[in-house]
Amino acid sequence: MNTLEENMEEMLDIDVSDTPEGGCTTRKKQLKDVTEDIEKDYEYTRGELYSLIDQGQEAVRGALEVAQESGHPRAYEVAVAAMKHVSDMTDKLADLHKKMKDLDEDKKGPSKVTNNAMFVGSTAELQKMLKQMGGGKR
């Protein structure tokens, strides 16, 4: 094995064997199915977003209480900003659900089949074919 191959092995953290395939199957074996990771990440992210939304709602209630007691415009500004952050987090939660739905649909394959027919040939060949299909002249 030359130094280029050795360097590539070291940089990519793979083992290239001297098999006829050139070690391609070794790398494939190292790759793992990420489906479980996707589900775990989804559940984790979903839980974190719920937690952040709950904490944000508490912060909004507190900020509104301070704003109402003080009547200070800056306090109201802070409360409104907290509301916007909670709203953004709920949008992120909705986006997360949409992305997971899209991933599930991608796994299942296309839901609609589109068949496009295309004729390759000359105009004369097309006319001849149409005449044969039509059963004669029109």
Per-residue pLDDT tens digits for 11-41: 777 776 655 554 455 555 545 566 677 888 8
- For 74, the enclosing helix (H) or strand (E) is helix 73-108
- Looking at the fold, whether 72 and 16 belong to one and the same domain comes out as no
The CA-based angle 55-59-65, given to 5 degrees, is: 150
- Looking at the fold, whether 18 and 42 belong to one and the same domain comes out as no
- Can you give the pLDDT at residue 121? 83
- Backbone torsion region of residue 3, taken as left when φ is above 0, otherwise alpha when ψ lies between -120 and 50, otherwise beta: alpha
Tokens of residue 32, six digits: 């793992």
Q: Which of 50, 83, 51 is nearest to 64 (CA)?
A: 83
- Looking at the fold, whether 1 and 48 belong to one and the same domain comes out as no
Specify the number of domains making up the chain: 2
Tokens of residue 119, six digits: 């004729």
